[in-house]
Structures are given as C-alpha cells and as structure tokens.
Amino acid sequence: MDETWIHHYTPESKQQSKQWTEASCSAPKKTRSVPSAEKVMASVFWDAEDILFIDYLEKGKTITGEYYFNLLTRLDRKKCEKRPGLQKKKIIFHQDSAPAHKSILAMEKLRDLHYELLEHLSYSPHLAPSDFSLFPKLKLFLTGQRFL
C-alpha cells in the first residue's frame, strides 16, 4: 500500500505525442501544456498480480486514522471479490509509517483482518518499490487523461 499525487491532467510527453508524417509534410504544431495545478491523492493497494483497489481522496479531506480504517475495510471487500483464494492464506501487508497508518484504529483493523504487518524502516527507499516501479508506470498510463 502506498499513496501518490496524481494531477487532474498531465499532458503527453514529446515521445508520446510523436506521429508519422509524409517526408514532404511538416509535423503538426503542438501547443505547450503543463500539468494541472489541481491534483488528487491516490491510495493504491496491490499484490504480486495486479492492483486490487485505488481510492481517490476527496478534495478538502485528509487521511486520518478513521479514514484509513475505512479504506482497509473496503480493501478487504475488494480482496474477497478479486482474490477469493486469499481468504485462507496469510497476508503480509506493507505500508509506510505515516501517522494515519500507525493509528490505534488502523492497527486494530489490521489485527482484525489477520494481516501480518511487514515493518517499514525509516529511510529505506528500497522497501518502497511503488515509488520506482508502480507509480511511474501508472502515471504514464494516465497521461493525457483528464480527471475532474
């Protein structure tokens, strides 16, 4: 589990917007555009196979212990729908040490779900593969799409 900011609009890169033209034709003109200032926090839950659940935080809200508790409840429902075979298996859950993740409510919910928590050491970027493999690919996939 990890969070990332996603802009409401991220323009295509030069590489993405390349297109073939006839040798005698010039390439179409493109206006320069920049990512929107508006952005949304996405909480992404995934396993080795696929993304299980993505939650987009409503504008003006913050992730609190109670909000995260409800996210974990929704995650468990999604996990049951998408991976019914995991019901009887041991779940090792990895999250960072954000205050909402370590709240009493969240820790209680993880115990109730029987998820084993994999400890996240401070200043250990190698334990956050989402920042290096998942999120760049997810953002590349979302490039050019608009979220309102």
Residue pLDDT, tens place only, 46-100: 888 888 889 999 888 999 999 999 999 999 999 989 888 877 888 888 888 889 9
| CATH fold of the domain at 2-18+31-82+91-142 | Nucleotidyltransferase; domain 5 (3.30.420)
Residue 148 scores a pLDDT above 70:
no
Q: What is the DSSP letter of 32?
A: -
What pLDDT score was predicted for residue 68? 94
Burial class (CB in 10 A: 0-12, 13-18, 19+), 105: middle
| Choice between 136 and 41, residue whose per-residue pLDDT is larger | 41
What's the confidence (pLDDT) of residue 66? 95
